[in-house]
A and B are shown apart, each in its own frame.
Chain A
């Protein structure tokens, strides 16, 4: 069974640009969550999508947005990038049966 797939794995952007990250959950999982991970702040919850609807949202500015498609694949977008947005962005899909989160390997974003 394929795991959670995130693309791209690495990317470099400059301040003011925008970025879109993609996540394909495990087949059959309908819930997808996004997290930002930095050395100083640890794992910070961004948002969760379930059946194309945002179910929960963390405490991030409106520059961070996401969406989910009918096949459960999800994208997150960050506009007007700032240096502080440099981080590892992790996607997790949730098992409907057990509630366990399965994480992808992340997309490492560097903002110059």
Chain B
């Protein structure tokens, strides 16, 4: 079993829909949680960063961490075709020298 599980998709939704992307993990020591976005033929770029449990909002994006369930989510409101990309979750812990552990990535397609 992988330390971080993420459904690879693809997930296809119509423009304007609310998108929910999720990751589950097994290591309770993870404290830092990140979402990266990767467009085709590009490297990943940091989208959201959260420490420990709770919510964080940035424009149309909301990151949510539930440490008790070992579950993190990324919500995208009013989705746009330009949001079409692969979304990767990543997480780290102090006791593993903050080495990032990655999910496989979910391919998201927003249909106009």
A residues contacting B by CB (< 8 A) are 4, 39, 41-45, 56, 90, 92, 99-106
Contact = CB atoms under 8 A, between A and B. Distances in A.
Interface of B: 6, 8, 41-46, 49, 88, 90, 97-100, 102-105
A103 B45 contact: yes
Contact of B102 (A39, A42, A56): A42
A30 B8 CA distance: 33
14 contacts: A39-B8, A41-B104, A42-B6, A42-B103, A43-B88, A43-B102, A44-B102, A45-B99, A56-B97, A90-B43, A90-B44, A92-B43, A101-B44, A106-B43
A50 to B, nearest CB: 11
Contacts of A4: 43
A99 B46 CA distance: 11
A102 B34 CA distance: 13
